[in-house]
Every structure is written in structure tokens, then in C-alpha cells.
Amino acid sequence: MGITYPDGYAMNKFYFCIFLLVNAVLTAPAQVSDLFKLYKSKFPDAPAVFVERAEVLSILVRNDSLEIFADVLEDMLHLKPQTEIYASGKVYGSHFSQVRDLRAKTLVWDKNKFKEMFVTDFRKNDNRDDAIFYDDSYHYSFSFPSVTLGNRTHLQYKTVMKDSRFIPGYMFSSYLPQGKCTYTIRTTKQVELVYEVVNDPKAIIQFRKYEKGGFQFYEWTGIDLPARKKEDDSPSVRYFAPHIICYIKSYESKKGRVNVLSNLDDLYAWYHTFVKDLSKDASPELTSIVNKIKGGCTSELDIVKNVFYWVQENIQYVAFEQGMRGLIPHTGSYVCEKRYGDCKDMASLIVDMLRLAGVKAYFTWVGTRDLPYKYSKLPTPLVDNHMIATYIGSENQYYFLDATSDHTPFGLPSSMIQGKEALIGLDAKRYEIKTIPEIAKERNVMVDSVSIRLDGDHIVGKGISSLGGYPKVFGGYALDRAEKKDIERNVTRLIGKGSNKFYLDNYVLSDVRDRDKKTTIDYSFRIGDYFQKIGDELYVNLNLNKEHYNDFINLTLRETPKERDYKYQKLEYCELTIPEGYTVEYLPPNARADGELLGFETEYKSENGKIVLRKKFYVNYLLMEPDQFEHWNAFVKPLSEAYKESIILKKK
């Protein structure tokens, strides 16, 4: 039989127990390690922290060649109860970077000390990526046991690098804060290195060089580094996160000094070995195709254009990442026979076809805009990840032929290589660096012309839009679909306007696949509840498209640059039929603002029973740096004010 207490006593005891429970939760950090208390105070909002991230890269001369391997350490402390997301671990490897000596464990805090719980199940998996036809990369997957508040997960492994040219450098940036982050290169005086800290204007990465045990050490350290912020439209982290770039210029062997990447000549000489034997005997099929193309052309430029279009239309792009196969193209004849290939294969086919036709064409290496580096400053494979072909016209005009972008018209480089340096292989010894142009906004034009009328509480209208340049290319990917519902959804996304009550009644597409013509969309539409009626007045805003309305950048919070696919210009014409029995009470004033990054112009007119708004709008950047944010905001303000303007119609 239990003991009976007065109601008040029981209630007080209940609240006392709740108090103890809540207090235990709130004071839980005090019951774990001093390390927990330290990092919880430094990073109170973080779910976890890297107590230490470290990599020691060893570059040693063994048997007259280079031996390169890296020892990696990650020590994570969990600062919140629910951090199961960090319990799953992956370590990646490939043909060029083999994983060895993988060890992982959880350090469980128990009775004022950490106890070790080792991971015993490591599973090796092939990487599967829908965008890659064959990939020799792999990863080991595993799960840390007992991942919760106060415990630590500890990971160590070695990567053995098979080629001395592929030193990846080191990123002092992570999705979690870092108590200490260290990158060390251990080598000898026989090895000549080049190294550089990138994106560290505040000098948060400290460097020291020292000798110990017959080795030379280069060491970079960062302390209490915050987590990397994830922000919309940010470019690759290599544009803004602090990191180390290093490469080997040369090393001393018994036979003398051996150049690795002493200058760009070394890089090109190596690259040329990948392509020097490709353009040899062509297959009968390839020869026949080239002869047929050439027979229908009246100029050399026509031949180049038609070869480029043939490859775009007949070769399916698939990506290969398989050891040296990731660097060496197949012959043009092989690619023609298989009807598929990656960027290198497409470049090889274009070069072979043009040379068969008697036209000079060149293998070209280039980095996409994911990589911020330049050949002129960094003669390493870090600069590039792509291959195209180049044709140089009679007036020294360069045509960069990237057939992987199958909607791109001849004469326009794919958008992802705008502004990048291209390494053009002229022959076995000669090469040229040429900067691919950033395509001006005037070549990337969208035009939208609509006529509208008021019908009940709806706006009813007809319109025609045209897309040229990159808007056509990107529109082509959206509109060239097998499913009608997908096409209709993308048409709505391209020409939708007014509000979320926009309804597309009908549409007709023209010249989506004709690369030399603008894509056009004829359409009819309705917008419900778009205008206001107050007394005997109607308020109608003719700015049916309000791109970048109030798109201010928070100067206090935003840290990373902003990136976009292309610069562009948009021309809009909106014609409203004045309803019978109404007259124009108010027309908004014309407005204009011409900024370096953003600009617009609006003009209103009332003529022949109609009100017309003509608008010109442009965005003029590919990469907007933080020091340009204030300038951007200065022009968003007048643009947003102009968008607010409505015409007023008054009943007669």
C-alpha cells in the first residue's frame, strides 16, 4: 500500500521533479567534457564542430620518382542532441587518389573520460551519378555508433596519389565551424614547390616553414573558423573560401633535375601526349559524312558550322571518368561509330571532321566557371575540367566549339566557359592562351509583347515572346521535352506574369530546335483579380513582369558573391485597351536608371484609345562581388519604385 500525501505536497513534488528534469537538460553540458563547454561557448548555435581538421601531404623522392600521399584527420564534437545526420560517413577515392588505412571511431563521454567505440563495417561502393556514363571513383560508407551530444566522432585515413600533377590543394572552409584546421606539406630540399593562399584578405590563415628530422615542413593553420554560409546563387566555394593551392615545379633525381610543372610548357607538353596520335586514319563512314557535309557548303565557315551542328545532333553526350580515360579522348572515327562520347570525344570528332575537310581546327582545354583559376597564373590541371575544339577564321576570329551544349548556336560559346582562358593546342610545340569572351547583354535578348483588356475582374490578353542568345539556349532545354505537361509548365515559367492567378489558355512554339532562329511563343492568357476598382476609378499596373522587385541584398548578412548564367536584356511592350466609358486620369511618369549591373527604362503613352508601356530592362553581370552589392541596391530601389506605379482610369 502506497503512502498518501496532501494534494499540495504531491503537486509541489511533481513540479520539483519537472524542475530537476529541465535543469538536467539545461545543464547537460556541465556534465560532459571541458572541451564541450569550450566549444559550446564559442559556437553556441552550431550542431557540431570540428575540434580539428588536419591533412599532412608527404612529397618524397623515392627510387628517382615522386611518392605522394596524404594523411587525413577529422575530429568532430557534437554540440546538440540530434546530430544523427553526421553519423553517416563517406570517404571518396578514385584511380588517381586511392584510399588506404581507413579508421573511424566514436569517443563516448562516460564518467569523466572518453571511451572508444570503433567502426567495424566499411562498405566500398561505386559512385553512381546519372550524369556520368562511367565513373571509376568510389567511396567507403560507414556509420559512427552512439552519435549524440557531448560525444566525438574521429576519422583517419590515407590517400595515395598516383600522379604528381594532381595535388588538389586544401580548403580551409567547411559546413561546420572548426576549432583548428591545419594543412601541412612534408617534403625534402630535393623538391621545389609553388604555393599560395587564396581568398584570405584578413590573413586568418597563419603560415610557418620549418625543418625537422631531415624534412622540410610548410604549415598553414586556421583557428576558430566559422561555418561556411550557404547562400543562394553563390559561385563555387573556390571563389570566396580561403584555400591553399600548391604544385610541384621540379625535383632532383640521380639523373638531374626533373621538371613536373615548372611552367605552362610542361603542362601543355603533357596534355599534347593525350591527343597527338588521334587524327590519323579516318573510317570510311566518317570520311563519307564529311564529304557529304562539305559538298553542300559554299565557304570554309559553312563547313565549320555544319560539322558543329552535325556533332550536336548526332552524338549523345555522356561523361566518362575512368583513370587516364578521363583525360584522353577517343578517335573521331570511334566516336562517330558509337554515336556517343564526352566533351573530349566530341572535341576529337570535330577536329577530325574539320581536318578531313581541309580545315584547320585545334584541341582546346578550358575550365568551366566553377574554377576561378587561369593558365597564365597557374600551370596545373587545377585550371581546367573541360575540352572543346577551336576554329580560327580568316579574319582572326575565334570560334569556340562546344558540342556538349546541344542548343547553343554556332558562334556562341557555351555559357559555362564565358570569360575563361582557353589553352589552344596549335601543334606539338606551340599553343596559345585566348580568353573566351563574356557575351554582351545585347546578344541575349528576350522580347515580350502583349495586348490586354479588362474583362469582368480579369485581365485577358494575347502575347508573343521571342528568345535569342542564351535565353534561347536555356529556353531550349526547358521547352524541348517529350511530355506536354512539362512543356506547358515551362512555357508558363517563361512567360507567366502578373500574379499567381496567371492562367495560360493556349500557346504555340516556333523554332525551338532551329539554332539560327529565335524561339517564339505565341500565347493567350488570363490573370484573375489583378486590378482594383475603387469608386469610379480603376487602378491597373501595366508592369506585368517585375523582375528583381525589391531584390535588395542584405549588406550585413550576405558574405558570398552572386553568380548568374548570362547577362541579358529584356524588352517589353504592354498595350491596354481603355474600357468603354473610361478616360485616363493618371499616367505614371517615365523613369530611367542606368547602372553598371542593373538598369531599366519605362515610357508610358496614351494614344488611339490605348495606353502603352514600353520597358527596357537589363542585368549586366556574371559574377557580382560583395563590394558591388551597394551599387546593386542603389539601382534596385528606383526599379522597385517604378514597378509600383499604376495607371488610373476614371469613369466619364
Instruction: Please spell the DSSP secondary structure of 77-123, one letter per residue.
Output: EE-SS--GGGTEEEEEE-SSEEEEEEEEEEEEE-SSSEEEEE----E
Q: What are phi and psi of 145, to 5 degrees?
A: -80, 155
pLDDT of residue 24: 40
Average pLDDT over residues 320-337: 80
Q: Is the pLDDT at 228 greater than 80, yes or no?
A: yes
Question: pLDDT per residue over 346-388, tens digit each?
Answer: 999 999 999 999 999 999 999 999 999 999 999 999 999 999 9
Per 3-state DSSP, the chain is made up of helix, strand and coil in percentages (nearest 5) of 25, 40, 35
**Cα(292)–Cα(300) distance, integer angstroms:** 14
| Residue 451 or 126, more confident | 451
Q: What is the pLDDT of residue 482?
A: 74
Reply yes or no on whether the pLDDT at 91 is more than 70: yes
Cβ count near 192 (within 10 Å): 15
Instruction: Provide the mean pLDDT of the chain.
Output: 92
The DSSP 8-state label assigned to residue 597 in this structure reads S
Q: Is residue 132 over pLDDT 70?
A: no
pLDDT digits (tens, 9 = 90+) for 472-486: 999 999 998 878 889
Task: State the maximum Cα–Cα separation within the chain, in Å, rounded to a whole number.
Answer: 108
Residue 303 CA neighbour count, 13 Å, CB half: 24
pLDDT of the residue at 322: 56
Question: In this predicted structure, what is the pLDDT of residue 22?
Answer: 38
Residue 5, pLDDT > 70, answer: no
On the question of pLDDT at 94 being above 90, the answer is: no
Read off the pLDDT of residues 8-57 as tens digits, 9 standing for 90 and up.
Answer: 444 444 444 444 333 343 344 447 799 999 999 999 999 999 999 999 99
Q: What local confidence, expressed as pLDDT, does residue 133 receive?
A: 52
- The residue-averaged pLDDT of 236-261 equals 96
548: helix, strand or coil: coil
Specify the pLDDT at position 129: 55
Strands (DSSP E) contained in 272-360 are 316-317, 319-321, 340-341
pLDDT of residue 28: 45
- Give the pLDDT band (50/70/90) at residue 83: confident
